[in-house]
Each structure stands twice: as structure tokens, then as C-alpha cells.
């Protein structure tokens, strides 16, 4: 078997093992939360007998180990369980499958993340390349100052500043990103403008600085000097010699930031009241809806692991020397 393919398969296997470990941590963390979930769902007016019957109905009376393996087995089969919400509101069972609740919210989050990535990734690469080419110039200093400022500023503060500027003082965009399944594409794109701008400013800085640092490091390499001595233009040096060898660290930081777009958008979704999976998880934690919390956390973990695996694979394929570390 080719060494690159073998290494990729090993990384995939490690990713699966990581997801199993993370699933156990998620389940254990939720199980260790204080309070009784049955009591929280039914309310303080419920009797002990009612709470006990409700816990038995939901399977919460079983040992934690048994519940974990039952949940994991269902997840492997594509069953995320049934939401607790709606079961105690009346005598009827109005609960919904978790997948039915998560699917539209996940689509909203992926839409926001996709719009942000389309803007942020090319912009960060361009700024990083140009800042490396014009190192120590006024342009480089301005770009670095702006990116350092955005890195040091919390995303909720950036969000409120953008709301103040573009929704209050100059009302160009709406301050609330209230979308639903019937929202047309261009209207949806317009409503997510401010959340996308917020996330772009937050994640672009990390990618830009990594691109700049990787290119500057490679420009000092002997083979780059040799290419210049042979008469290669600056564009050829960057695109044909420096950039291909810089993809490994750049891909890694891009993967980390794309993972953040899905995993770390909770604050932005709450600020803009955007109906994404982060907002759903916050609501589920408030109502102690265990299956929804577990499903959201597992999706976050899977997204993070998958994107990091993709970054590893890109780094290996573009730089085979990583296969034989010294």
C-alpha cells in the first residue's frame, strides 16, 4: 500500500477513535450536571411518583453505562433520539425526533459558515501573501495592526459595534437575522450579512497571519534564493515555489477556523438571534433537553475532528516529507 494512503487511513481510524472518546466525554459531562432532569422538565409542581414514572419512560432510571451504549448504538444507526420537550406540556406526547429539530438549524449554521468562508478564506490568503511580499512596509504594518485588533476583540463586541454602525447609525443591514425555511436565498443572504461580517473579521486575522508567517519563512529558504538567481519573477517564486510548500500550515489554520465557524458561532447566533445549531444548543441546555444537547455537542465534535482530518490529509499530500518525521 502506498505510504500516503496508509497514513491517511491511519488518520481516519484515529479520527473515529477520537469521536468515540469525545462521545463518552459528552455523555459523562451531561450526566454529571447538577439537578434532576425529570424534575426540570416536569416542573416543581410534579410529585415524586410522576417524576419517577417520567424518568422511567425516558430511560433515565437505567445505569449511565447502559444509557451511553444504547445512545451510541442508536447514533451509529443514524438515530439521534427523541427530544424531551413537549412530553410534559400536556397529557399527550408532542415530542419530536432530535434529527427533525437539528436538521434545519444545522443547515442555517452551515449556510452562515459557508458565506463567511467564501469571503474570509480568499481575503485572508490575499492579505497574507501581499503582507509577506511587502514586509515591513506601511501596508504590512496597517494590516497587522488591524488583524491584531480583531484577534484581541471578543466576537460579541465586534457584533455590537457592527450593529451600532450598520443597523443603527447607518441602517444598511438588519440587526436581527431571523430566517426560516421559506426565506428566499437573496433575502437570507441579506439578513446574515452582519453575522457573516462579524465572523469574517474574527477568523480572517488568524488565517492571514499564518499565511504571512509561512510565506516569510519560506522566502528565506535556499531553494527560493536559487529560483531567484535563475531569473524567476516574484509571482513565480510565490506561486510555484513558496505557496505549494506552505499549504500544510495554512491548511491547518484554515481548518481550525472553519471548525470554529460551526462550533464557535454560539455567541454570534445569540447576539443576532440567528436560528442556528448553537442557539438550539443554548435553548436545549436551558430546558435540560438531554438528547438535543448530546446531538448538538456530537455534531460540533464531529465537525471539528473531520475538518482537522482534512487539514492533516492536505498537509500530507502536499508535503510528503511529513510522512517521515525526524
Q: Is 82 helix (H, G, I), strand (E, B) or coil?
A: strand
108 in a structural domain: yes
Asked whether residue 220 is assigned to any structural domain, the reply reads yes
- DSSP state, 323? G
What is the structure's pLDDT at 89?
Answer: 44
Given this model, what pLDDT does residue 269 score?
87
Half-sphere exposure of 198 (CA within 13 A, CB side): 34
CB 22 within 8 A of CB 38: no
Residue 201 lies in a domain: yes
Q: Is residue 184 part of a domain?
A: yes
Please report, for the domain that includes residue 157, its CATH number. Answer: 1.10.3720.10
Q: Phi-psi region for residue 70, left (φ > 0), alpha (ψ -120 to 50) or beta?
A: alpha
Nearest by Cα to 156 from 281, 305, 12, 270: 270
Q: Which domain holds residue 128?
A: 101-283
Backbone angles phi, psi at 97, to 5 degrees: -60, 145
Largest CA distance in the chain: 85
- Angle 290-296-298 from CA coordinates, rounded to 5°: 100
Please give the pLDDT value at position 118. 92
User: Cβ–Cβ contacts within 10 Å for residue 90, how many?
Assistant: 8
Residue 119 domain-assigned (yes or no): yes
Tell me the mean pLDDT per 10 residues along the chain, length 326.
74 85 85 68 71 76 83 86 66 72 89 91 89 85 87 86 90 86 88 91 86 81 78 75 75 80 81 88 81 87 83 70 56
State if pTM tops 0.75: yes
Among residues 199, 168, 164, which one has the least CA distance to residue 269? Answer: 199
Residue 41 forms part of a structural domain? no
Q: How many domains does the chain fold into?
A: 1
Task: Give a yes or no: residue 291 inside a domain.
Answer: no
Could you tell me if residue 87 is inside a domain? no
Amino acid at each position: 500500500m502506498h505510504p500516503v494512503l496508509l497514513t491517511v487511513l491511519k488518520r481516519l481510524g484515529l479520527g473515529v477513535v477520537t469521536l468515540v472518546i469525545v462521545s463518552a466525554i459528552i455523555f459523562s459531562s451531561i450526566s454529571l450536571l447538577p439537578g434532576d432532569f425529570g424534575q426540570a422538565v416536569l416542573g416543581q409542581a410534579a410529585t415524586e411518583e410522576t417524576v419517577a414514572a417520567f424518568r422511567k419512560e425516558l430511560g433515565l432510571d437505567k445505569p449511565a453505562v447502559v444509557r451511553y451504549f444504547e445512545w451510541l448504538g442508536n447514533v451509529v444507526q443514524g438515530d439521534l433520539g427523541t427530544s424531551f420537550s413537549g412530553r410534559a406540556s400536556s397529557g399527550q406526547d408532542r415530542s419530536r425526533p432530535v434529527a427533525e429539530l437539528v436538521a434545519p438549524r444545522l443547515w442555517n449554521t452551515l449556510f452562515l459558515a459557508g458565506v463567511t468562508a467564501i469571503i474570509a478564506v480568499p481575503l485572508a490568503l490575499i492579505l497574507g501573501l501581499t503582507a509577506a511580499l511587502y514586509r515591513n512596509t506601511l501596508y504590512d504594518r496597517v494590516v497587522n495592526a488591524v488583524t491584531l485588533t480583531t484577534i484581541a476583540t471578543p466576537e460579541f463586541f465586534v457584533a455590537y459595534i457592527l450593529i451600532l454602525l450598520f443597523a443603527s447609525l447607518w441602517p444598511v443591514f438588519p440587526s436581527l437575522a431571523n430566517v426560516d425555511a421559506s426565506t428566499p436565498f437573496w433575502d437570507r443572504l441579506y439578513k446574515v450579512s452582519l453575522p457573516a461580517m462579524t465572523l469574517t473579521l474574527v477568523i480572517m486575522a488568524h488565517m492571514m497571519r499564518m499565511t504571512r508567517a509561512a510565506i516569510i519563512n519560506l522566502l528565506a529558504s535556499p531553494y527560493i534564493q536559487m529560483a531567484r538567481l535563475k531569473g524567476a519573477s516574484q509571482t513565480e517564486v510565490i506561486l510555484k515555489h513558496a505557496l505549494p510548500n506552505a499549504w500544510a500550515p495554512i491548511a491547518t489554520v484554515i481548518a481550525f477556523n472553519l471548525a470554529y465557524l460551526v462550533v464557535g458561532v454560539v455567541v454570534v447566533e445569540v447576539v443576532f438571534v440567528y436560528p442556528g445549531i448553537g442557539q438550539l444548543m443554548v435553548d436545549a441546555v436551558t430546558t435540560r433537553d438531554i438528547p438535543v444537547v448530546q446531538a448538538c455537542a456530537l455534531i460540533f465534535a464531529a465537525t471539528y475532528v473531520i475538518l482537522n482530518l482534512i487539514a492533516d490529509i492536505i498537509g500530507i499530500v502536499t508535503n510528503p516529507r511529513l510522512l517521515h518525521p525526524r
